Structure 1
Amino acid sequence: MNENDIGGGSGSGMRDCVVVGAGAAGLSAALTLVRARRSTLVVDAGRQSNLAAAGIGGLLGHDRRPPAQFYAAGRTELMAYPSVELYTGEVTHGVHEDDGSFTVAFGDGRRERARSMVLAPGMDYRYPRLPGMDERWGGSVFHCPFCHGWEVTGRPMGVLASGAVGVHGALNLRAWSDRVTLLTNGSELTDQQREQLAVGRVGLDERPISRLDGPGAELRAAVFADGGELPIGALLVKTTLYQRSSLARDVGAGLTEPDEMLSVEAIKVDAMCRTGVPGLYAAGDAATSVPPSMASAVASGHLAGAAATVHLAAGS
């Protein structure tokens, strides 16, 4: 089956499942479905969050592999199965119909229907926008030490966060560096939090930051508003994850509220990635209840695909 081989202005009839998102979770869910001979439409908006990274960190069998290569290999594997169709585009709206099916609409006016749906669109990663940050994102500036810490091991490191989450992140980062400084960017810590940092041999600087500096994509220092500098070669940044669109709400999924420690507006799911809406599943970053990673996304995608397959069998 060819990519974008959907045919017709309104699709080719009712499919078994539509998978929204072709990142690690979506591709994993789709592979599980098509191996169960379920007709599956996979929608790829091309917005995978880790495309900026040089390599995948910590995914068994793919450690340090460029993300784009991983996704290309996944699509190639999928396209070997006759029941899959891959559409490059973005879902603009979704409806949970009265008969239990799902309808999705695309930006070009196309509409598709399916008996089940897996939501795996990834997330909108929001972090403080300091000058010099965007061009270093996914390299020397990152949000997950387990994904990127090894590549910057031994450098002097900063953590841009405040409160309990900043203290936790800074103490954790000591696994990769003996020189870690918590940068609160103007926020103050409690005496207890200061003591925790001191016991953990973590530095503290509460001055407001004006920019990040360094040659090219490398990080050399955090520059403060008062003109001072802190030499660092890597920066861990507190990041909050939000849904990229209203699609989850459109089809009836519930969402969690971001909190201080786990800053994720996640789709609520159970252990089998079921949302509580019959036939609707969610996986990957969009439904994570733990810090996001490629490894957990692949696993949750498989569970969502398996749960959708069981649902389809019960209804056939």
Structure 2
Amino acid sequence: MYDALVIGGGPAGLQATLTLGRMHRSTLMLDSGTYRNAPVEAMHNIVTNDGRHPAEFRSIVRAELAAYATVEIRDLGAESVERLPDGTFSVALADGMTETSRAVVLATGLRDVMPDVPGFAEQWGRTVHVCPFCHGHELSGRRVAIQDSPAAGHFVAMLSPVVGAIEIVPPVTGVQMTSEGLRVSSDTGAVVVDGLFAHPAYEQAAPFAAQLGLEMRESGCIAVDLFGHTSVPGVYAAGDLAHVADLPMPMPSVLAAAYAGQLAGASVVRDAAMAHA
């Protein structure tokens, strides 16, 4: 039986695993190979990693994890998680095996739900963005469209010192890359810009919160405290799949996810120590 089983190999899961490994806790990290930031070619606004490819980032962390003898990594996902009567957990793996653990850290993230708009999914993470902190600078002095929403005014205010022209567009009906730029179509016509900021819906990327009966917030994310505790003892959650009450929304940031992973990993260690004190 492992001390902890971390599900998810993004920044939150990697950092939780590193924290657990440094405390010599037997830890299994499962990585399905599916990542929310897979479409992007570079991460930004991350100290020492600004502009680094996400795959390179993960590779560097994995090399660091190899130094810890109590850490095991498997490149496969989990199918289900069950809390057993004795308070431990049974995790069914995608290869048909089952592993048990004293604690589980959920770090499977969110999945962006692409709208039924031609070209949107193909340009997502390339010329269609959601975060001005992550991709605004790369559009310095250029033409930008912002899809109309209650937050559009805030985006205009944030991006005005960075970009050139800003156009607020109604709900987008088509996105196409042309020789002149990104053609963004709507019911009122089309504009040609260099980038589009939009806000598609999102959902939990994995079914484990529902399987475990975890408390959820209105945002659709798992309710956690600052240390990653969920409503079920022994289950922790870190990254953008989780939502701390004091924040207005889940924080889709590599740094925020790693920070949450560190706290969740530390909480696993502390809670186990307190239980045996």
TM over 0.5: yes
For 1:276 and 1:214, locate their aligned partners in 2 and report how far apart those are by CA, in whole Å: 45
1:272 equivalenced with 2:224 (yes/no) = no
For 1:251 and 1:103, locate their aligned partners in 2 and report how far apart those are by CA, in whole Å: 11
More strand as a share of residues: 2
For 2:181 and 2:80, locate their aligned partners in 1 and report how far apart those are by CA, in whole Å: 40
Give matches, 1:245-256, under 5 Å: 245-256=206-217
Shift of the alpha carbon at 1:231? 1.8
Shift of the alpha carbon at 1:56? 0.6
CA offset digits 1:247-275 (Å, max 9, x no partner): 012223211123xxxxxx21100011111
2:25 pairs with one of 38, 42, 51: 38
Shift of the alpha carbon at 1:281? 0.7
1:223 pairs with one of 185, 197, 203: 185
Give the TM-score taking structure 1 as reference length: 0.81
For 1:148 and 1:291, locate their aligned partners in 2 and report how far apart those are by CA, in whole Å: 15
Look up the match of 1:139: 126
1:114 equivalenced with 2:101 (yes/no) = yes
1:237 equivalenced with 2:221 (yes/no) = no
Q: For residue 145 of structure 1, what is the amino acid of its counterpart?
A: P
1:74 equivalenced with 2:61 (yes/no) = yes
Q: For residue 176 of structure 2, what is the amino acid of its counterpart?
A: D
CA offset digits 1:219-252 (Å, max 9, x no partner): 42213346x3212110001133311222012223
For 2:206 and 2:182, locate their aligned partners in 1 and report how far apart those are by CA, in whole Å: 36
Alpha carbons of structure 1 residues 43 and 140: separation in structure 2 relative to 1, 3 Å: same
Q: Secondary structure at the match of 1:49?
A: coil
Alpha carbons of structure 1 residues 254 and 91: separation in structure 2 relative to 1, 3 Å: same
Residues paired across the two proteins, number = 271
* RMSD (Å), alpha carbons: 1.8
1:47 pairs with one of 20, 27, 34: 34
For 1:32 and 1:210, locate their aligned partners in 2 and report how far apart those are by CA, in whole Å: 45
Alpha carbons of structure 1 residues 219 and 141: separation in structure 2 relative to 1, 3 Å: farther
Alpha carbons of structure 1 residues 159 and 127: separation in structure 2 relative to 1, 3 Å: farther
For 1:128 and 1:152, locate their aligned partners in 2 and report how far apart those are by CA, in whole Å: 23
For 1:45 and 1:215, locate their aligned partners in 2 and report how far apart those are by CA, in whole Å: 35
Q: Secondary structure at the match of 1:281?
A: strand
| Unaligned runs of at least 5 residues, structure 1 | 1-13, 186-208, 259-264
Q: Secondary structure at the match of 2:33?
A: coil
Shift of the alpha carbon at 1:129? 3.5
Shift of the alpha carbon at 1:165? 2.2
For 1:68 and 1:178, locate their aligned partners in 2 and report how far apart those are by CA, in whole Å: 31
2:43 pairs with one of 56, 59, 62: 56
> Does structure 1 retain, via aligned residues, the 8 Å contact 2:81–2:211?
yes
Look up the match of 1:170: 156
Give the TM-score taking structure 2 as reference length: 0.92
Shift of the alpha carbon at 1:181? 1.6
> Does structure 1 retain, via aligned residues, the 8 Å contact 2:242–2:250?
no
Q: For residue 234 of structure 1, what is the amino acid of its counterpart?
A: G
Work out which of the two has the higher radius of gyration on C-alpha atoms and give 1 or 2: 1
Q: For residue 239 of structure 1, what is the amino acid of its counterpart?
A: P
- Percentage identity across paired residues of the two chains: 34
> Does structure 2 retain, via aligned residues, the 8 Å contact 1:21–1:121?
yes
Look up the match of 1:283: 238
For 1:176 and 1:241, locate their aligned partners in 2 and report how far apart those are by CA, in whole Å: 27
Shift of the alpha carbon at 1:93? 0.8
1:313 pairs with one of 255, 268, 273: 273
Look up the match of 2:246: none
Which range moved further: 127-136 or 267-276? 127-136
For 1:36 and 1:270, locate their aligned partners in 2 and report how far apart those are by CA, in whole Å: 22
Shift of the alpha carbon at 1:184? 2.1
Shift of the alpha carbon at 1:98? 1.2
Shift of the alpha carbon at 1:151? 1.2
For 2:197 and 2:214, locate their aligned partners in 1 and report how far apart those are by CA, in whole Å: 31
> Does structure 2 retain, via aligned residues, the 8 Å contact 1:214–1:220?
yes
For 1:284 and 1:244, locate their aligned partners in 2 and report how far apart those are by CA, in whole Å: 12
